[in-house]
Amino acid sequence: MAKARTYYFCQECGYQSSSWIGRCPECGKWNTFVEEVVKASSPKPSKEGSYGKAVPKRIQEVTYSETERIPTHCAEFDRVLGGGIVPGSLLLLGGEPGIGKSTLLLQTALAITDRRLLYVSGEESEQQIRMRADRIGIHADNCFVVSETVTQRIFEHIDAVQPDLLVVDSIQTVVTEDVDSPAGSVSQIRQCTTEFQHYAKTTGVPVLLIGHITKDGTLAGPKVMEHIVDAVLQFEGDRNYGFRILRALKNRFGSTSEIGIFEMRGSGLAEVSNPSSLLLSHHDEELSGTAVAATVQGARPMFVEVQSLVSSAVYGTPQRNANGFDMRRMNMLLAVLEKRCGFKLGAKDVFLNMAGGLRVSDPALDLAVACSILSSNVDMPISPRYCFAAELGLSGEVRPVSRIENRVGEAARLGFERIFISKYDLRNLEQNKYNIQIIGVSVIEEAFRNLFENN
Ligand code: TYD
Ligand code: MG
C-alpha cells in the first residue's frame, strides 16, 4: 500500500516544502503555497533510464534526418517550430483563455491528413469538438477525438488508436491516479507532463500540450513544465482585434526569434503571410502623431504603424499609457526627448498605440516612437510614405540596428519614399541598390529637423 504524504507546493514555481510557508524562498511570491497529497509510490525512472541502455558515441557518429519532421501544413506554425514538429518532442502551447489555442491545435490536427491523430480534450465534449471542426470546415478521416481527463485512461485510448501525433487540451485539466491533489495543481501538472514526456520519448510520437496562462501573463503552474518540455510556444494578441501572434519562448529545435501571425476569422485561424499590408492603415491624408516603424521579427520584415497622442495634462500628474509597447521604454524615450532635445513633455499626457493591437518588441521601434511623439507634440504630420528603423540611446544618439538591408529592402518594395536610419548603418549599405531615399541621422534632433523644419 502506497504511503501518502502531504506536501506544500508553491503554485507559481513548484517549490516543495513539508510545511506551509507564507513566502516562497524560490520565487519570492507571497501566499502561493497549497497543500497537496503525493503518494510515495510515484513511478520512478528505472535504473536503466527511460531510453534504454545508452552507449556514448562520437558526436560525428550520431545520425539524424531533418526530413523526419512532421510538417503542419501551416507555414506560419512551421516557421515558429523551425520547420515542422520533431518526432518524440513535447510541446507546450500557452495563452490566455479564449485566444484560440484549441482552435489552432484542432485546425493543425485536422490539416495533417497523412497521419493518425488523437485529440484529447479535458475541457470540451466530443460534440463540441465536432462543432468546432465543422466551423473550421476541414473534414478529416484520420483525426480521432476523445473527451478524457485521467492520464491512465488516455494511454489506453492511445494504445487503441496508435496515433502519430497526440494533442492534449489542456494540461491543467488532466489528472493522474498517482497523485491525489486536484487537477491543475503543481504536483498533478508535473506528474502528468512527465508521463507524456516519457510517452513521447519512448515512442517517438510528438505530444502537443495546451496550457493556460495566469492574469499576469505567466504560464499557470507550468513554470515547472517549462524545464521538461522541448518547446514553449505562446499564443497572444488583443482579443478585440483579429490578429494573433504565435511565438516560441523556448525551442530546442529552432529559433525563438521567429513569429507566426494569424487572423481569427469566422471559420478558424487564417495565416497572415504578408503582415505589413494589414498593419499599416491605408489612409492617404497626413495625420500628426503617426509614424511607421520598419521592424524585423525573426527573419521577416514587418511594418507597424505607431500612433501617439500628446496633450496637456488636465490633472496634476500626467498620464502615460502604452498599448503594445513597453511602458518603461516609452518613459525612457520621453526622458531622452525632454533632457537631450529640450521638448517639454514632462507636463503632457502621452498615449502610445501600436496599430493592429500587436505587441512587437524590436529596438528599432525607438525612432518611430520618438518621431510619432514629436509629431503629435508639434501637431505636424509625418508623411505616410516615410518609415523609421533605429534605436535610441540615452544621450539621444541614433544607433544602428540589426538586419538593416532587410528593412530598407522591404521599405523600398512596399513603396516607401524615405527611410530614416542611423548614420552608422549607412556604411553597411549599398545605397544605390535600393529605390528609396535613405536618410542617416546620428542624433534625434537631425531627424526632427529633417521632418518638421524643411517643409
Ligand atoms: P478557443 O480556441 O476556444 O480559445 P482557447 O482554447 O485559447 O480558450 O477560441 C476562442 C475564441 O475564438 C472564441 O471566442 C470564438 C473564436 N472563434 C472564432 O472567431 N472563429 C472560429 O472559427 C472559432 C473556432 C473560434
Ligand atoms: Mg480551449
What residue segments make up the domains of the chain, in order of their start?
A: 4-39, 72-273, 281-451
Which ligand places an atom closest to the C-alpha of 122?
2
Question: Which amino acid residue places its CA nearest to atom 12 of ligand 1?
Answer: 100
Q: How confident is the model at residue 50 (pLDDT cuts 50, 70, 90)?
A: very low
Q: What is the pLDDT of residues 354-402, one digit of tens each?
A: 887 777 788 999 999 999 999 999 999 998 889 999 999 998 899 999 9
Which ligand places an atom closest to the C-alpha of 93?
1
Sort 83 into a burial class: Cβ within 10 Å, 0-12 / 13-18 / 19+. Answer: middle
Mean pLDDT for all residues in the chain: 86
Longest alpha-carbon distance in the chain:
85
Average pLDDT of 22-26? 88
In this prediction, residue 6 carries a pLDDT of: 84
Residue 121 in 3-state DSSP? strand
- The fold adopted by the segment(s) 72-273 is Rossmann fold (3.40.50)
The answer on pLDDT for 138 being more than 60 is: yes
pTM of the predicted model as reported, rounded to 2 decimal places: 0.77
Average pLDDT of 424-441? 89
Query: How is residue 382 written as a grid cell?
Result: 509625418
Q: How far is residue 161's CA from residue 199's CA, in Å, rounded to a whole number?
A: 14
- Residues with CB under 6 Å of ligand 1 are 95, 97-103, 132, 135-136, 264, 266-268
Test site for ligand 1: of 96, 138, 264, most ligand atoms within 8 A of the Cβ: 264
- DSSP annotation of 442 reads S
The answer on pLDDT for 227 being more than 50 is: yes
Which ligand places an atom closest to the C-alpha of 123?
2
Question: Which amino acid residue places its CA nearest to atom 15 of ligand 1?
Answer: 98
In this prediction, residue 48 carries a pLDDT of: 46
Query: How is residue 406 written as a grid cell?
Result: 532587410
Q: How confident is the model at residue 274 (pLDDT cuts 50, 70, 90)?
A: confident
**34, β-bridge pairs:** 9
Write the CA distances from 33 to 4, 15, 27, 41, integer angstroms.
Answer: 19, 9, 12, 23
Test site for ligand 1: of 93, 101, 103, 135, most ligand atoms within 8 A of the Cβ: 103
Q: Residue 200 Cα, ligand 2 centroid: separation in angstroms? A: 22
Q: What is the pLDDT of residues 58-90, one digit of tens each?
A: 888 887 766 688 898 888 899 899 888 999 999
Average pLDDT of 129-155? 91
Positive or negative, the Cα torsion across 424, 427, 433, 437?
positive
The answer on pLDDT for 455 being more than 60 is: no
Question: Which amino acid residue places its CA nearest to atom 1 of ligand 1?
Answer: 100
Write the CA distances from 57 to 54, 60, 61, 86, integer angstroms.
Answer: 9, 8, 6, 22
Q: Which CATH number is associated with domain 281-451?
A: 3.30.230.10
Residue 243 in 3-state DSSP? strand
Q: How many CA atoms lie within 13 A of 257 on its CB side?
A: 9
Contact (Cβ atoms closer than 8 angstroms) between residue 350 and residue 325: no
The answer on pLDDT for 121 being more than 80 is: yes
